[in-house]
Structure 1
Amino acid sequence: MNDKISHIGSEQLDNVQPELPETVVQPGYLGINVPPDQLPEKSARTWVDRPEELLQAVNVLKQAQVVAVDAEFTQIRTHIQGDSQSPSHRLSLLQLAIERHCYVVDTLRLHDLTPLNEVVANHAITVLLHGAGSDLRIMAERGLTVAHYCDLEAASRSIFGQQESSLAAMLRRAFNIRLDKSLQRTDWNRRPLPPAMVAYAARDAEMTLALYSWLNQHYGWALKMHEHTNQLEPVAAWIEPFLNGTSSVSVETAVAEAKARGIIQDDAQIASDCRTALLELKQLMHRSRLLRLIADLTLVQLVPDIEPLLQAPSSDERAASARALGRMGVREAQPLLQPLLQDPVHDVRKSAQTALRNLGRKETRAPGPPSRLIDGARSWTIGEVGNLDDDNDWKARLRTMMGDA
């Protein structure tokens, strides 16, 4: 036997590992790209810092069907209970863009912004936001309740993936322009604001409106998936905290408490409630969280309901369903997960790779049948793909070779 392996004892075989190939998920979006369009003409811009000017702006804005909104704010420190400090944010500017006009509202000088509720709280008007979370919170602190909005960042993520969904990335894709973000972290509380800063602030709202038009023309389905109307979605009471991210206990504890209170009668109801929610929920974030909940509960009886989602139009849902199947250990789903390694969206490819790894489908180099060399030593061929759980895995082959020597 070859001297390099003749000294290996059977007790050492478990420490011998085959050389594994590097499997790298290619970054970026690999799908078909729509040719970029021309940017619309620049709109008129109006600075608003007086109550009567705000009312005039509202009278114009409330005639529109869609209004793009962007906010500029700064972080401040708030003293609470002694010397402790809590970070918060101060709304400095609010920009509202419609076709051919953009209003830049000085929210530091105007203390009462509630007249804008005629616009943002109107269910007939769609408010366009790019990354809705922080803007909605800041606006709510100033008494503004958004009734109907569309998150363009989330819609872009559903099409192209997380790394391709920023406003700058989307404007390069849609209009082949580069967005100047040099003033993003400037002091928006300074007054008076230089004209360049006012133009910078207005431009983000204007670009959000332009991006909406491009997405609506080419990817209307994604916009519809990320429209929010604040209407409650019908789900079982014990599921709702997990969808909203407000549950303070584990899934197991929540289920046990629901059973103790009679909300859940038996295990069959758990699966039934989750299946109903999967059919009824429309918001993709809630659907992704529901799939995580199903995986945490290991509801394998819902696998037939999840597998079709691997072909969903939204990359969020394809990735979430792949993760769920992987975490539940559904080996039968491996043939359905394999094609996702070639998905156009990086997030989906990565989720499929992780799921397949969880299911024991790592690519390993398995030794082929040994052959004798002229000097009597044995060699074997590396390169076949094998299963670590297979009876003919590389360790079994090596033990056989050692026994034959």
Structure 2
Amino acid sequence: VCLVWQHSMVAWLATLLSFLFIVGFSILPQSSLPVAGVQAFYTLLISALSKITHSFFPKDSTLETKPHKTNGLRIAVIPVLVTLVFVFLYSQSNPIFGNFISKLNFNSITAGWVFFTLGSGLLLTGIFFPEKSEVLQNFDPLHPDNLLRKKTSLHGRIVRILGLKSEFQIGKLLFGLLNLLLLLVNVLDLVYLFVLKTLPEGVQEKEFLHQSVNSLIFSVLLAIAIILYFFRGNLNFFRRNELLKIFVYLWIFQNLGLVLITCYKNTSYIENFGLTHKRIGVYVYLLLTCIGLCVTFLKVYAVKSNWFLIRANFSLSYGVLLLASFFSWDEIITNYNYRHYQKPSHEWLIDYAISLSDRNLPQLHQMLADNSLNLSATQRNAIFSKKQLFLEKQKILFLEKQKSLVWQSWNWSDTHILSTLTQDK
């Protein structure tokens, strides 16, 4: 639906992944989303290539006397290939036959067509002749979501308790120090952002944001990895682990606070310098970070396994991708920058809007006819006259491309753009 509606790269990616998951679930209906994805990859590529190879080069001589599912492929392809070789030879040796062959129209057979046909054949082979992976089939049952306590012998239990006590003491000290450190970081950010309302000397706003995002992503991933290590096993069932869990919960909440502070920085930066794909990407990273922290909290609180966290994060990330495919981000970026275009220093936003895909052509078409922008006559002429020639070329290319499309390529987004660009004619 999103592919027909928006026709964007995000929608294409979501559709492709959805197709892979459908193939995986058709083979392993009870599997989790990541396992289904790996199963689909195994079936469509590895298994399909293996079947095609075995059909042409059978390892077992009994394949020549026993019927096999892929024997038909060898029966069909080999004669066709040999026939094509003789067509080439006869066309070279017989001028009449060669002249006849040269008049045939093979313009539709292009490199793209050959690649698409071979790729489709490979995918269809994997779909119609699927093969289960025993490792993947048994993976989810062997790695449940709920964490189970491991029981040991008396001697092993004593050693294990001593080890748990040591891990507990290390974890308690570590998370206590990390909480103090993160508290200092968050307090300094809040003081500079909301009390002093300025940045430290020598620090630019762009540098301030980029360092925050990069450090945040790495620090949260490291935080989740540390939590997974300490709560991977029987420490979850240790009787006196309440204080350690409190420290972990506090650290997770402080990381969520750090995410909110970074979100505020990104919002302020967008208000001052405009909206771009990278700045939308920052919001996506922050959303995924929040999801990861919340799932980590649930893993510790509900005593779940590490595989639960991986499955949940994978599924929720896929949900974010599906949600993102409902929106035309190029239109959103162009509309936002159009409404907030008030400073001469923002001239580059027009260049950026023109560099985007065809999705924002109606907005660019509207901007050329708009006389209400807060610009002087000199600025208006300098900016829009420089852009108009390129935009007209882009419109012509888009309209020519639409004329050559067939009904199978129809989508609402292109139809809407075409209607907008031709309504004045």
TM-score interval, smaller chain: under 0.3
> TM-score, normalising length from structure 1?
0.25
Q: Which has the larger radius of gyration?
A: 2
Which has more helix, going by share of residues?
Answer: 2
> TM-score, normalising length from structure 2?
0.24
Tell which has more relative contact order, 1 or 2 (C-alpha 8 A, sep 6+): 2
